[in-house]
């Protein structure tokens, strides 16, 4: 939960599907005037909202809106829409709130109600801010404030100034933010709008903390605290107390001279919030109060007191049926128990947190800011803390079945995270669909080692399963150091005129592979399957170097985003049906790929099948072919890019950029057919150096498309080199004795022996993703 900048609501698990109501009806039944007056509905909505019951408030205001519309009362119809949108935004239903507000703006324009139009615009600005669109939020809020000043509507001006301050904070315009908050507070105070005045004061103090103006920030908070005590108990009053308490705690850590006094004040402010929450029966807010108090004791190194307070938070969140709070306190319980050395109990608490999180995860993720690492840095921490605790428990055990069970449980925990992370990237159910048809992969991998790195902040652990056993190696390198080495290696690897990459290739080999060599030799391993984590997704493991040779010269190599995401059925070479697609011409500002013609002709000579080249390479033609025939291999030779946002990832067709979402929809036609798509090849794609999120998209392309395997490139290479490697890969693939991983190994080694293309910058970017058999 985030209390700072008090415009966003608390996380919410319940889902409300609100329809835009017309005179004919909607999802919520319209209450006739004889049963409840429209004014009663509006008042009831305010009551629910003040108590933090946002779904009930939305329902009441939506009913009122429909009634007002039926009676032709346009101003109140518009006002009810605005109120309903506010309640919806508090429970994370931003899209539905936006639709209501757009209707409100249109109605306000049609019926000439500028003050309502400014209100609705202000709320639209707030919604933009909630999803991280600061520039557009600022523009919309400034326009709404301009209308409010012209009216003039002073209460609305005060509200919009506070919201404008929030937008300025998002854009790091700190002095502009303080000015807006100060004006809002003074104006609201003059209008006796005490809640708004206090909110703006608190927000200004938060900015002053950021800018190091600690005395000013402390004074504002103390004044806001005194004013808040005089307000009637309400949801907003509770939120304000909690924000003041957390802010005073933060200041106590900066102002060491007054630390003890500020710590006491912070504790008292949080307790004030708990008492107000009790007074209105707001169990969820009460749980946050106890939880924040527990945080303070944890930071003071007092885990036993923290644990007791967290138990009170759990009890309150259970009473309030608030799973979005409960999972946090179970998570904290695991952390406290781990600090107390009670590892088994800690694991159970972490597991309860994960079990509580899973049904509401997508709802919570929808409220995260649009930042590439938001998912990993927020929800991901739970999974990694549980994994770390499980590994700590294995340190206490000798080799044996119990230890192995815990190591597999550790891997399963990170598997759950990887599946959730990929689902967050693609924003659909392709991951769940894929998992539903997977069998345990360790049971179908003879002479194969599955290498599973887990990158913690202070180290990297590698779990390696082979021969029915699992082993653990710990690499004493911090995540920061590892990422720096990886990024440097990747950047230098693309410089094909130098060998500056080599020291980094050898360093990474020493870290990640050398500790595994005794076991790899003992079990006569031929194939390595990496399940990379984080930055490790951005590099080709094939180019790691032991000082004598590249890793690809010793082992066939594949990569997969997750073991539970890999369909382990082998390729049926007797049933190959190929669709070859490509661009040779330069279109839409992209360079031509003259060797694609020969590449596709070579594939036709090997497997036959259908082709779509240049002017025939159109989305509608791909869809037609997909519907008419059951291809087992789809080969696409065209420019492509994987981006941190899947909507900005694409494959270039003759007339458009086909997004990965669109490509997935086309390829997804195979998901439920008897004949699966065995292989999707994208032979001219690229990802940016250091872009872990883009590499996640590349790793998940097979899953998104419903293919068992994908062959794709981490960066764009010379299309002649690509054509040579692709032809040799497919030539080797036709031999039934070789797996796909071994076919790629032979193709990459053949380029290693090429006079021109021996540099790994040419052959290493080709990755075999998912099924390697």
* pTM to 2 decimal places: 0.83
pLDDT average per 10 residues of sequence, the chain (773 residues):
32 23 30 56 87 87 89 90 90 85 91 92 91 89 94 95 95 95 96 94 95 94 96 93 95 92 96 96 96 95 96 97 95 97 98 94 71 74 97 95 95 92 73 56 76 96 91 96 96 95 97 96 95 93 98 96 78 88 94 93 94 95 89 93 85 91 74 75 82 81 81 89 95 88 96 95 94 89
Looking at residue 10, what is its pLDDT? 23
DSSP string of 658-710, one letter each residue: EEHHHHHHHHGGGTTSSS-EEEEEETT----TT-HHHHHHHHTHHHHHTEEEE
Contact 107, 119 (CB under 8 A): no
pLDDT at 38: 78
* CA 384/CA 380 separation, integer angstroms: 7
Q: What 8-state DSSP symbol labels residue 711? A: E
pLDDT of amino acid 9: 28
Which residues, 6 or more positions from 652, have their beta carbon under 8 angstroms from its beta carbon? 583, 587, 588, 590, 638, 639, 640, 658
Helix (H) or strand (E) holding 431: helix 430-435
Per-residue pLDDT at 372: 53
CA distance 707 to 684: 18
User: Would you call 547 exposed, middle or buried from its count of C-beta atoms within 10 A (0-12, 13-18, 19+)?
Assistant: exposed
pLDDT at residue 24, rounded to an integer: 28
pLDDT value of residue 437: 53
């Amino acid at each position: 939960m985030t209390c700072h900048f008090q415009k966003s609501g608390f996380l919410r698990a319940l889902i409300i599907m609100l329809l835009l109501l017309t005179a004919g009806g909607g999802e919520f039944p319209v209450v006739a005037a004889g049963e409840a007056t429209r004014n009663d509905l509006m008042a009831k909505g305010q009551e629910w909202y003040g108590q933090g019951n946002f779904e009930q408030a939305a329902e009441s205001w939506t009913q009122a809106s429909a009634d007002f519309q039926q009676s032709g009362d346009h101003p109140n119809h518009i006002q009810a829409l605005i109120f309903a949108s506010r309640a919806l935004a508090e429970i994370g239903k931003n899209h539905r709130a936006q639709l209501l507000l757009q209707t409100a703006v249109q109605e306000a324009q049609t019926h000439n109600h500028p003050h309502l139009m400014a209100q609705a615009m202000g709320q639209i600005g707030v919604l933009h801010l909630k999803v991280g669109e600061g520039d557009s939020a600022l523009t919309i809020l400034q326009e709404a404030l301009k209308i409010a000043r012209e009216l003039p509507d002073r209460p609305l001006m005060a509200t919009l100034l506070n919201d404008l301050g929030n937008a300025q904070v998002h854009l790091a315009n700190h002095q502009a933010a303080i000015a807006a908050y100060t004006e809002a507070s003074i104006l609201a105070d003059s209008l006796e709008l005490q809640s708004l005045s206090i909110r703006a004061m608190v927000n200004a103090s938060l900015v002053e903390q950021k800018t190091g103006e600690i005395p000013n920030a402390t004074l504002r908070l103390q004044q806001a605290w005194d004013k808040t005590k005089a307000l009637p108990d309400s949801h907003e009053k509770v939120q304000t107390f909690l924000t003041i308490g957390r802010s005073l705690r933060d200041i106590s850590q900066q102002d060491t001279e007054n630390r003890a006094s500020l710590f006491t004040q912070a504790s008292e402010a949080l307790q004030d919030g708990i008492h107000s929450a009790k007074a209105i029966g707001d169990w969820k807010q009460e749980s946050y109060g106890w939880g924040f108090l527990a945080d303070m004791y944890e930071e003071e190194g007092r885990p036993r007191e923290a644990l007791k307070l967290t138990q009170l938070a759990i009890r309150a969140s259970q009473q309030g049926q608030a799973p979005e709070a409960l999972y946090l306190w179970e998570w904290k319980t695991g952390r406290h128990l781990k600090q107390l050395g009670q590892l088994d109990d800690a694991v159970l608490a972490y597991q309860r947190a994960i079990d509580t999180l899973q049904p509401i995860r997508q709802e919570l993720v929808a409220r995260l800011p649009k930042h590439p690492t938001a998912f990993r840095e927020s929800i991901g921490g739970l999974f990694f803390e549980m994994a770390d605790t499980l590994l700590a428990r294995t340190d206490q055990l000798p080799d044996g079945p119990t230890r192995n069970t815990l190591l597999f449980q550790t891997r399963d925990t990170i598997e759950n995270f990887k599946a959730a992370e990929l689902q967050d990237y693609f924003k659909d159910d392709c991951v769940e669909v894929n998992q539903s048809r997977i069998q345990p992969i360790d049971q179908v991998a003879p002479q194969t080692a599955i290498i599973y790195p887990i990158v913690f902040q202070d180290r990297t652990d590698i779990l390696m399963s082979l021969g029915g056993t699992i082993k653990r190696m710990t690499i004493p390198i911090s995540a920061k150091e590892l990422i720096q080495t990886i990024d440097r290696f990747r950047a230098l690897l693309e410089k094909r005129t130098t060998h500056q990459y080599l020291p980094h290739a050898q360093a990474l080999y020493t870290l990640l592979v050398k500790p595994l060599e005794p076991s790899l030799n003992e079990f006569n391993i031929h194939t390595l399957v990496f399940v990379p984590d984080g930055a490790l997704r951005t590099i080709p493991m094939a180019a790691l170097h032991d000082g004598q040779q590249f890793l690809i010269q010793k082992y066939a190599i594949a990569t997969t985003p997750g073991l539970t995401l890999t369909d382990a059925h082998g390729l049926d070479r007797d049933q190959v049906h190929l669709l070859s697609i490509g661009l040779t011409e330069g279109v839409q500002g992209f360079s031509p790929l003259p060797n694609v013609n020969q590449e596709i002709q070579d594939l036709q000579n090997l497997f036959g099948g259908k082709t779509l080249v240049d002017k025939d390479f159109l989305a509608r033609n791909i869809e037609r072919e997909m519907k008419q025939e059951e291809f087992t291999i789809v080969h696409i030779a065209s420019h492509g890019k994987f981006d941190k946002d899947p909507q900005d990832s694409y494959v270039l067709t003759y007339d458009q950029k086909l997004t990965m979402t669109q490509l997935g929809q086309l390829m997804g036609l195979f998901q439920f057919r008897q004949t699966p798509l065995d292989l999707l090849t994208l032979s001219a794609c690229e990802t940016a150096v250091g872009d872990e999120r883009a590499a996640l998209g590349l790793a998940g392309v097979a899953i998104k498309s419903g293919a068992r395997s994908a062959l794709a490139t981490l960066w764009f290479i010379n299309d002649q080199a690509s054509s040579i490697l692709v032809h040799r890969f497919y030539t080797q693939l036709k031999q039934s004795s070789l797996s796909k991983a071994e076919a790629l190994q032979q193709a990459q080694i053949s380029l290693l022996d090429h006079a021109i293309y021996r540099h790994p910058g040419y052959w290493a970017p080709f990755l075999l993703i998912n099924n390697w058999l």
